[in-house]
Chain A
Amino acid sequence: MLSKLYSAAILGVEAFTVEVEVDVHPGLPSFNIVGLPDTAVQESRERVRAAIKNSEFEFPMQRITVNLAPADIKKEGPIFDLSIALAILVASKQAKPDLLNEYLILGELSLDGSVKPVSGVLPIALMAKKTDKIKLLVPKANAKEAGIIKELKVFPTNSLGEVIEFLNNKISIEPISVDLKDIFKLSKNNQIDFSEIKGQEHAKRALEVAAAGSHNVIMIGPPGSGKTMLARRLPTILPSLTLEESIEITKLYSIANLLPPEMPLITERPFRAPHHTISNVGLIGGGRMPKPGEISLAHNGVLFLDELPEFSRSALESLRQPLEDGIVTISRSLSSVSYISSFMLIASLNPCPCGFYGDPVKVCTCSSSQIVKYRSKISGPLLDRIDIHIEVPRINCREVMEKDSLENSFVIRERVETARKTQRERYDEDSMFCNAQMNKRQIKKYCNIDDNAKNLLYKAIEKLNLSARAYDRILKVARTIADLEQSREIEISHISEAIQYRSLDRKLWLY
């Protein structure tokens, strides 16, 4: 007898429906799965066989063929276990098909018949919303994740036996309901705050500008000046996540199997700080079975690269595409996957290998070739994609012993949010949200400056020997500074502040 049920799987970051067809007919007993199953799916046979037997059902000793359609897409992972087991029970007349084929069935099976959680449930739920399969049967631990999508009816289940009892109306399972407000409340209160940073007003101001316009930042300074401390506190002044942004991030985390068990939704902006020994694949994503990398896990958040020159050159080069396009495409021989990856890049480095070049107190012990070699790791093009350069000098003892500065993250965040609001209204029709994303046409449209400001800008470019890219970047940052002051026009003061944030182009990197 033939039975057909529905499950789903993930390819890259997209989910697709999988039809689970099972044919059981008399003959020499065999159990085969077709449809390009990978090893985990082949191993399903053992799990399904044991689960059915241990759930007090009969495993048919007949010719069983399972087809996972569409047959030309590779099937990966144990997510089909539950649907295969149920389809076998239907085909061997131990369960009724009528209700089952209205559900999208997901779950890994344990040998005793209990249902175990799987990864990627949120992207599957998002896809299900678009099809007509709005009823889902999922493992209990994944239920809240799918329940975020309000249009769906998500039924949590603990075991194979429970599903059959539910279908026979012997027990009832309530569809899960998730209160989004509760989830957002769960996010822990920030322990860290901007007000903990003593002094460094210039750096804090620069970070505020960066946060307002989502500009990338590079910080240069000697060891111990507070670069890492500043970077870690940046997420506290970034605006709170919208539900849409939250879902985008949760999708990626779900696929990478990084969702914390009690948190079905990521409600805080991610802060990823990979160590500089990370491989290309770890940073960008990929691997034999493509998985998201650190830059994707930092989507809608912050990627902090501490000690930038220590990263491998190829890793840094591969940052170019995502920084420019907001997307990273990984091509393999059989398929290519595109991961969305729009993040704020914060990089930090010392001015030289020993760290004390240009320091007023300590003496630099590097040879000039060492310094040149160290700096040349950061290529011109990568630097040009970073809008704001901050010098973070050592702070003196007096500043360290001062009490906390007056402004805490909450106050700064409010200013940032107001500036962002202005940007959202400005770019309403352009499907972007911040100044950093402006292209040439938009810069021309929104960043008009008067002649005085223009003259200043040209002089600065000439004197400081900046490239054409720098011109656009200065305008973008000036636009953000103006937004922070709630000024419609870009004034000359905004331009001059923005120019400050490019001076390192010339000062340290001339070679």
Chain B
Amino acid sequence: MNNIKIGKYGEDLASKYLEAKGYKIKERNYRTFLGEIDIVCEYKGNIVFVEVKTRRSEKFGYPEEAINLNKQQKIIKNALCYLSKYHLWEKNCSFDVILISISKNRDLKKIKHIRNAFCLDIK
């Protein structure tokens, strides 16, 4: 199974997980010319932008490894596009990260949901 399919599979698992938790999925793979956000969902009136990272069991890295500064900037820009498109400036937002590890047989081994993984501080 190649990486793209693993990625897609991971995203599906993540969506199921979020729905089970009461998150309302609004959009999958929101794409703009700047890039892509894996999942946009809504939870208790807040908009949550989720980035999903799927890994095979042995390599379960840290979130900083998974999402470096460039990626963060891209996601933030995309998020701004989304908010602007739907005029959602009054809502609270957060950026979450879901790390999924699967075994060789496509069995789900572990899900890690990191809330508020990063924000926009001026460094």
Contacts and interface: CB of A to CB of B under 8 A. Distances in A.
B89 interface: yes
A27 interface: yes
B91 A29 contact: no
B121 A28 contact: no
Interface string B74-92: 0010011001000001111
B102 to A, nearest CB: 29
A94 interface: no
A509 interface: no
Interface string A61-77: 11000000000000000
Interface string B101-123: 00000000000000010011110
**Max count, chain B CB within 10 A of own CB: residue among A28, A31, A61:** A28
A31 B76 CA distance: 15
Given A26-B89, A26-B91, A61-B94, A32 B116 contact: no
A61 B121 CA distance: 12
Nearest to A60: B92
Contact of B122 (A26, A28, A32, A61): A32
A43 B1 CA distance: 46
Interface residues of A, number: 10
B67 to A, nearest CB: 15
A32 B92 CA distance: 17
B90 A28 contact: no
Contacts of A61: 92, 94, 116, 119
Interface string A38-82: 000000010000000000000001100000000000000000000
A85 to B, nearest CB: 16
A143 to B, nearest CB: 34
B93 interface: yes
B116 A28 contact: no
Contact of B120 (A26, A28, A45): A28
A62 B93 CA distance: 7
A26 B80 CA distance: 13
A379 interface: no
A30 interface: yes
Chain B, interface SS category: loop
Contacts of B93: 26-29
B94 A30 contact: no
Chain A, interface SS category: loop
Interface string A19-37: 0000000111111100000
Contacts of A26: 89-93
Interface string A420-450: 0000000000000000000000000000000
B5 to A, nearest CB: 32
A205 B76 CA distance: 79
Contacts of B120: 28-30
Contact of A29 (B83, B89, B90, B94): B94
Contacts of A29: 93-95, 116, 119-120
Nearest to B115: A61
Interface in B38-86: 76, 79-80, 83
Contact of A45 (B90, B116, B121): B121
A45 B119 CA distance: 13
A26 B91 CA distance: 6
A30 B121 contact: yes
A28 B79 contact: yes
Given A61-B92, A62-B92, A31 B79 contact: no
A30 B91 contact: no
Contacts of B89: 26-27
A30 B90 contact: no
B91 A28 contact: no
B95 to A, nearest CB: 8
A52 to B, nearest CB: 13
A181 B76 CA distance: 62
Nearest to A32: B122
A238 to B, nearest CB: 54
Contacts of A31: 119, 121
Nearest to A31: B121
Interface in A205-264: none
B42 to A, nearest CB: 13
Given A26-B89, A61-B116, A32 B76 contact: no
Nearest to B76: A28
A26 B92 CA distance: 4
A40 B44 CA distance: 36
A45 B92 CA distance: 20
Nearest to B89: A27
A62 B45 CA distance: 13
Contacts of B122: 30, 32
Nearest to B94: A61
Given A29-B116, A30-B120, 17 more contacts: A26-B90, A26-B91, A26-B92, A26-B93, A27-B92, A28-B80, A28-B83, A28-B119, A29-B119, A29-B120, A30-B119, A31-B121, A32-B121, A32-B122, A61-B92, A61-B116, A62-B92
Interface of A: 26-32, 45, 61-62
25 contacts: A26-B90, A26-B92, A26-B93, A27-B89, A27-B92, A28-B76, A28-B79, A28-B80, A28-B83, A28-B93, A28-B95, A28-B120, A29-B94, A29-B116, A29-B119, A30-B119, A30-B121, A30-B122, A31-B119, A31-B121, A32-B121, A45-B121, A61-B92, A61-B94, A61-B119
Question: 10 nearest interchain CB pairs?
Answer: A30-B120, A29-B119, A26-B92, A61-B116, A61-B94, A32-B122, A28-B120, A30-B119, A28-B93, A31-B121
